[in-house]
Amino acid sequence: MTAPGTNTYLVGTRDPILIDTGAGAAGYVALLDGYLQSRGWARPARVLLTHRHRDHMGGVAALRARFPGLPVAKMRHRDAALPEPIEDLRDGEVVRGDGVTLVPLYTPGHASDHLCYYLVEEKALFTGDVVLGGSTTVIPPDDGDLADYMASLRRLQQLDVARIYPAHGPVIEDAPAKLREYVEHRFERERQILAALAGDRATIPEIVAHVYVGVSPALHGAAAMSVQSHLRALEKQGRVKERVVSGEPSRWELA
């Protein structure tokens, strides 16, 4: 689901800012420490998190053990448990490093606390899980929202962005094309779900099996979350409705 893992980025010419920390995988801190030493850097100046998911902030504790007092910041929003202390970071609250200027952008949809970071000097964007390299992102029904996600993509399209540094997958060199592709993909997925409903595929597993043909069954759970988010968005628009029968899976139909 996360392909080769979670990307983390050092940004700056000296005393760099670290964006995200990974999941806390064994060996990460040693690898980071070795790289810092090879560049003549003692430690990261601070950590900026894109959002609360474990594969992005799971490494905070190990990094703090290696670098005591390391400042960590994210947007505090609906957070149940965080590796305290965490500084609250808000949309547009400029973060300056050595030779770099990062502007946090509130981009909910994948997660309600999600921040992307715009690197002014490069016209580049650290997108966390809003835009990925080589795949599309999941919209979890618990804390995600498809309408918010589409609004976030449109906001990013209004920026002067050349390159995207995603949290999963390779760097994206043509940012406008990728953002356009992501918007078009969501509309195409919506059409596919409506077509599945028109073909009497009424439950989410039936819709997933129809829409995600050729996708590994191991990923069908993640696909089901995105399908559910699409259905909830269509329900708000009055285009589909849910029928709930006690003891049976929910069934969906065109309104």
**Tens-digit pLDDT profile for residues 220-246:** 999 999 999 999 999 999 999 999 988
Q: Which of 1.10.3720.10, 3.20.20.70, 2.60.40.2220, 1.10.10.10 is the CATH number of 175-255?
A: 1.10.10.10
**How much is the pLDDT for 226?**
92
For residues 175 and 162, the answer to whether their CB atoms sit within 8 Å is yes
Task: Please say whether the dihedral angle defined by the alpha carbons of residues 198, 201, 202 and 207, taken in this order, is positive or negative.
Answer: negative
Q: Which of 255, 198, 248, 196 is nearest to 227 (CA)?
A: 196
* CATH T-level topology, domain 1-173: Metallo-beta-lactamase; Chain A (3.60.15)
**How much is the pLDDT for 39?**
95
> Model confidence over 6-36: pLDDT tens digits?
999 999 998 999 999 999 999 999 999 999 9
Q: Which residues of the chain carry a pLDDT beneath 50?
A: none
3-state secondary structure of 187: helix
Q: How far apart are CA 125 and CA 134, in angstroms?
A: 16
How is the chain split into domains, by residue range? 1-173, 175-255
Q: How far apart are CA 224 and CA 245, in angstroms?
A: 19
Q: How far apart are CA 153 and CA 211, in angstroms?
A: 23
Partners of 103 in the beta sheet? 118
**How much is the pLDDT for 2?**
65
For residues 243 and 252, the answer to whether their CB atoms sit within 8 Å is yes
Q: How far apart are CA 240 and CA 255, in angstroms?
A: 4
Entry field: residues in the chain? 255
Q: What are the backbone angles phi and psi of residue 251, rounded to the nearest 5°?
A: -120, 140
**How much is the pLDDT for 1?**
63
pTM: 0.94
